[in-house]
Amino acid sequence: VVCLIFVNIFEFVYQLALSDPNCGDVLKGLVPTGETFSSTHSIGGQTPLTGALGIIGATVMPHNLYLHSAVSQTRKINRTDEDEIANAVRFSTWDSNIQLTLAFFVNSLLLIMGVAVFKTGA
């Protein structure tokens, strides 16, 4: 599964390089502006804030958090040993953070590639 994930990430990075996005616009888009929080409606009747929150929600994926909490519960630890509990919490935190960071980059690649390939100048 991990190998397949990295193959997909490599594929997205390669396709992103082929789509040749404007790097300045990509970097500008990573920093929220006042326009992001405005109440002006965009295409589809949504505000830019709604779109930004949708992207964050897609990255955090509640089922991913549930999966990692269930995985951490199956670790056999001595529940009376505080060091083992601290290690289990630390491993679970690292596991979730790594997966969410990976999901953030994959979602960013998809979003950037989609805009670079399908932009219409609107």
What does pTM read for this prediction?
A: 0.68
Query: Which among 107, 109, 97 has a CA at the least distance from the CA of 14?
Result: 109
pLDDT recorded at residue 82: 92
In terms of residue numbers, what domain contains 41? 2-118
pLDDT recorded at residue 74: 67
pLDDT recorded at residue 4: 86
Q: How far apart are CA 57 and CA 65, in angstroms?
A: 12
CA dihedral 46, 112, 61, 84 (to 10 degrees): -140
The series of mean pLDDT values per 10 residues for the chain, 122 residues long, is 84 88 86 76 70 77 69 75 89 82 83 81 50
Looking at the structure of the chain, the number of domains it has is: 1
